[in-house]
Amino acid sequence: MTRAERILVTGADGFLGRGLVAALAQRPDTVVVATDVREVPPERRLPGVEYRVLDVRDHGLGGVLADHRIDTVVHLASIVTPGKGSTRELEYAVDVGGTRNVLTACLAHGVRHLVVSSSGAAYGYHADNPAWITEDHPLRGHEAFAYAHHKRLVEDMLAQARRNHPNLAQTVLRIGTILGERVDNQITALFEKPRPIAIAGSDSPFVFVWDEDVVGALLHALSGEAPPGCYNLAGDGALTIHEIAARLGKRPLVLPPRLLRALLTVGQALGISRYGPEQIDFLRYRPVLLNTALKRRFGYVPKKTSAQAFEAFVAAREAQGRGL
- Would residue 314 count as lying in a domain? no
The alpha helices in 68-97, defined as continuous H runs, are 88-92
Mean pLDDT of 228-254: 96
Cα–Cα distance measured from residue 324 to residue 322, given in angstroms and rounded to the nearest whole number: 6
Does a structural domain hold residue 143?
Answer: yes
- Percentage of the chain modeled with pLDDT above 70: 100
267: in domain: no
Q: Give how many domains the chain has, as a whole number.
A: 1
Residue 83 belongs to domain spanning: 6-178+210-234+288-302
- Residue-level pLDDT at 225: 95
Neighbours of 24 (CB within 10 A): 24
CATH number, domain containing residue 79: 3.40.50.720
- Alpha carbon distance 221, 224 (integer Å): 7
Q: What is the pLDDT of residues 50-91, one digit of tens each?
A: 999 999 999 999 999 999 999 999 999 999 888 888 899 999
In a domain, 139, yes or no: yes
Per the domain annotation, does 270 fall within a domain? no
Element (H, E) at 254: strand 253-255
Inter-axis angle of helices 211-221 and 15-24, nearest 10:
50
Residue 259 covered by a domain: no
| Least trusted range by pLDDT, from 140-144, 228-232, 292-296, 303-307 | 140-144
Which residue from 79, 113, 292 is spatially nearest to 218, judged by alpha carbons? 113
Q: 85 lies in a domain?
A: yes
Predicted local distance difference test score (pLDDT) of residue 277:
84
Identify whether 318 is part of a domain.
no
